[in-house]
Homo-oligomer: A and B are copies of this chain.
Amino acid sequence: MGSDNMYHPDSFPELKNPPRILLGPGPSMVHPRVLRAMASPLVGHLDPYFLEIMERTQDLLRMVFETQNRLTIPISGTGSASMEASLANLIEPGDEILICINGYFGLRLVDMAQRYGAEIHTIERPWGEIFTADEVRDALAQKSAKIVAIVHAETSTGALQPLGGISRVVHENGGLLLVDAVTSLGGIPVQVDEIGIDVCYSGSQKCLSCPPGLGPITLSPRAEQVLSERKSEVANWYLDLTMIQKYWGSERTYHHTAPISANFALYEGLRIIAEEGLEVRCERHRRNAEVLWQGMEDLGLELHVPLENRLPSLTTVRIPEGVNGAQIQNRLMMDYNIEIAGGLGELKGKVWRIGLMGHSSRLENVTLLLAALGEYLRS
């Protein structure tokens, strides 16, 4: 094969990654210490050394989720895999689920839930708005639901969903609250136990600032009980928590080979959060977002989400009339190696999406972006 032209080594140049400043909806920039952890020599997935790292990683995940939940682990896939794990493990065919849709990821929850045979009810709000507890109460008064699924931080809109009132309503109705915290965990308080979230999932590549590839998930004792009392088998083998928990639990039963290097990286990323302190870290996310918001308004730009519902980790900025949004994105990339993103779904072509997550949430990045945007918009 070596002599075959198509596969001549010269056709496959060495990696020469450009030094991107990642200010899109994720992945965020990865701390050099986390990159170094990715390069740690491998050990086996049942090596006592790795089992120890697994346990400490679970403790650290409990720290960022702010929970005591036993079943708190990283799923061996991206945030979408942990989203699917949440649904696949809790839904049995015919179960009723209420899904709150105010953006792209609400729609994704619907797409996934129907594949597991759920009977789906939905409520909707325009993209960028949020739900009130009363809206959820009214929906549950009309149609009961075993699970209520809602997105805490909508990456497609930049809206932050308050959860306290909704949690009370869901539990008064005997349901389980399932929360997407992909773009909040590690940058915005999620407070799983305080709020009473039953299933919460996230991704490694947003405010946790690790490479994509792991999806932290946590189940409340009540959700665990529902899982253990299933009548039907989980319809998804790779994401079947009844088996996976035996690898992460004391049995250490082989299920699949964990992505070992990604777990080292997650451990290091979570250590950095423990060192900074979760509260301090959330304040930093908020502070840098406020600088961005003020700067955007000073440039005459309009923010899509009103201040009270605005997500510190992801800001949607309306593209002004007469400005070519994609062209500005290209110039940022060409001139400054800065990545920001355009809108998704309903907001395609209407907004830019600017992420300030984890290691990307630094004043130098905000100031540079504002300076560059100012330069382009004035010219």
Task: State the A residues within 8 Å of B (CB).
Answer: 1-4, 6-9, 11-12, 14-15, 17-20, 22, 24, 26-27, 29-30, 35-45, 47, 49, 53, 56, 59-60, 63, 66, 76-81, 84, 108, 111-112, 115, 203, 205, 211-213, 233-239, 254-262, 264-265, 267-268, 270-271, 274-280, 339, 341, 344
Contacts and interface: CB of A to CB of B under 8 A. Distances in A.
26 contacts: A1-B277, A2-B274, A7-B60, A7-B274, A8-B274, A9-B275, A12-B59, A12-B271, A12-B274, A17-B41, A20-B47, A22-B42, A27-B257, A29-B41, A29-B42, A38-B261, A45-B212, A77-B77, A78-B256, A80-B238, A80-B255, A80-B256, A84-B238, A203-B257, A259-B259, A261-B262
Contacts of A7: 59-60, 63, 274
The 8 closest A-B pairs by CB, nearest first: A2-B277, A213-B259, A80-B256, A39-B39, A211-B261, A1-B278, A38-B38, A35-B39
Given A1-B278, A27-B45, A47-B339, A40 B20 contact: no
A42 B20 contact: yes
Nearest to A209: B42
A91 to B, nearest CB: 12
Contacts of A265: 261
Contacts of A84: 236-238
A274 B40 contact: no
A15 B266 CA distance: 11
A233 B79 CA distance: 22
If over half of A's interface residues share one DSSP class (helix, strand or loop), that class is named, otherwise mixed; here it is: loop
Contacts of A8: 274
Which has the most chain B C-beta neighbours within 10 Å: A78, A238, A262? Answer: A238
A80 B20 CA distance: 33
Contacts of A260: 27, 211-212
Contacts of A9: 271, 274-275
A357 to B, nearest CB: 12
A41 B49 contact: no
A316 B131 CA distance: 59
Contacts of A47: 18, 20, 339
Contacts of A278: 1-2
A76 B77 contact: yes
Given A1-B63, A7-B274, A237 B29 contact: no
Contacts of A254: 344
B237 A115 contact: yes
A41 B12 contact: no
Given A35-B40, A42-B211, A213-B259, 7 more contacts: A9-B274, A17-B43, A27-B42, A76-B78, A212-B257, A212-B258, A262-B262
Given A26-B257, A42-B20, A111-B237, A268 B15 contact: yes
Contact of A213 (B11, B213, B274): B213
